[in-house]
Amino acid sequence: MHSQPATQPGAGKSPGLVLAALCLASFMATLDLFVVNVALKDIGRDFSGQGLSNLSWILNAYAIIFGALLIPAGRMADRYGRRNAFVVGLAVFVLASLACGMAPDLWTLVGFRCLQAAGAAVLTPASLGLVLTALPGDRMANGVRLWAVSAALAGAAGPVVGGLLTEVSWRWIFVINIPLGLVAAAVALTLIARDTRDSSTRIPDLLGSFLLVIGVGAASLGLVKGPDWGWGSAPTSICWAVTVAAAAGFAASTRRSAVPVIDFRLFRSRVFTMANLSAALLFGLTGMQLLSVSFFLQNSWHWSAVQTGLAIAPGPAMVFLASGPGQKLNARFPAGRVACAGFVLVAIGQALMTLSLHQWHSYAASMPAPPSSPARSGGTRRARPRTARHAVARRRAAGQSGRRR
């Protein structure tokens, strides 16, 4: 049975308030990727002096689950209704946040972080879908921009918010989600009508998603615990074996599935492949740097959580501020050249930051490249999606032409 055309259930019902609630939910989901870094030292002190290799799983678990479930959750939201998915995802996220704030030990906290990430993965694509359907047509484009801006602001605000809340208690970085989530849920339930379910949307490859989580999780575990266990030890070897087996299973499941998590055909395009590899490299290095710089400032320079958060904030903020000029550069020059220039600036910034923190021992000297993230990658982040989109468009156009023949 096919679905009816999409409607705009929220049009005319306080669209400004609806948009604010949707942006708030997106802000919370993204904030939890950044807010925890500056609180890890306090969490470790409360949980029997846990080391960095164990504490990093508070971050790793959220990032892995969130990334792996994002695409399947979006398809499920289309199939079963975006408002329903948004409210369910928000409820899971809020309840998991409460449980995180009450966690009695580290691994209980990590488990609830997994649940929190699952809720975030559901509410994020559902909130964007509601922006497209619950706003009047003349406000849709601006709504999408504000929704994207709210996620970008979360990256800049995360370290500062985390530092301020940690001064009270690290548990507040999770508890603060509860009142915000309840406000967003109340707006959704009262002002957004039930949207039409798209029964033609097929169920995504859930097995592939599960294997992706297992594979990435096992690889992360091996890399994080390898120095403690020994790179040739049995536990580390088991991690590599599980990673390889999960990767093979994921590839097989993807080839068989009608709705794969990742369409391998897209990687036939060299441009698409290189754009995504560069994105993975940059985001991976940024994540590692957020964690390492937080620990360095707090343990080596003995800065407070607030000082650390304020020190880290310029990096994500500069990415946000540089995205505007980066977009203008993309309009004037080839996207590949803009991306290359961005990566060169990132490399220069990293070199300056390394010298300033480890050789000169001066935060002021690091300001041309603020700690925590590539401050001049705004153009790079704008150029990569544009390059990848053009590659996908050409690839799909060729496929359509081949079928017509």
Predicted pLDDT at 405: 43
State which H helix or E strand residue 209 sits in: helix 206-229
Measure the CA angle with vertex 106, ends 101 and 112; round to 5°.
Answer: 50
CA pair distance 62, 173, nearest whole angstrom: 14
Predicted pLDDT at 313: 80
pLDDT 10s per residue in the chain (405 long)? 444 444 444 444 688 899 999 999 989 998 888 889 899 999 999 998 788 889 999 999 999 999 889 888 988 888 888 999 999 999 999 999 999 999 999 999 999 999 999 999 999 999 998 988 877 777 888 888 889 888 878 887 888 899 999 999 999 999 999 999 999 999 999 988 877 676 677 778 889 989 999 999 999 999 989 988 999 999 999 999 999 999 999 999 999 988 888 888 888 888 888 888 888 887 777 777 777 888 888 888 888 888 888 888 887 777 777 777 877 887 888 877 888 888 888 788 777 777 776 666 666 655 555 544 343 444 444 444 544 444 444 444 333 334 334
Residue environment code for 335-358, b if the CB has 16+ CB neighbours within 10 A, otherwise e: beebbebbbebbeebeebbeebbe
Does the pTM of the predicted model rise above 0.75? Answer: yes
Predicted pLDDT at 308: 87
Predicted pLDDT at 384: 47
In the block, tokens 């993230």 appear at 373
Contact by Cβ (8 Å): 15, 139:
yes
Q: Within 13 Å of residue 182, how many CA atoms lie on the same side as its CB?
A: 7
Predicted pLDDT at 373: 39
Predicted pLDDT at 251: 93
What CA–CA distances, in Å, run from 48 to 55, 105, 221, 294, 300? 11, 9, 21, 20, 20
What CA–CA distances, in Å, run from 40 to 43, 58, 81, 346? 5, 8, 37, 26
The predicted-structure confidence for 358-399, as pLDDT tens digits, reads as follows 666 666 655 555 544 343 444 444 444 544 444 444 444 333
Q: How far is CA 91 from the centre of its chain?
A: 19
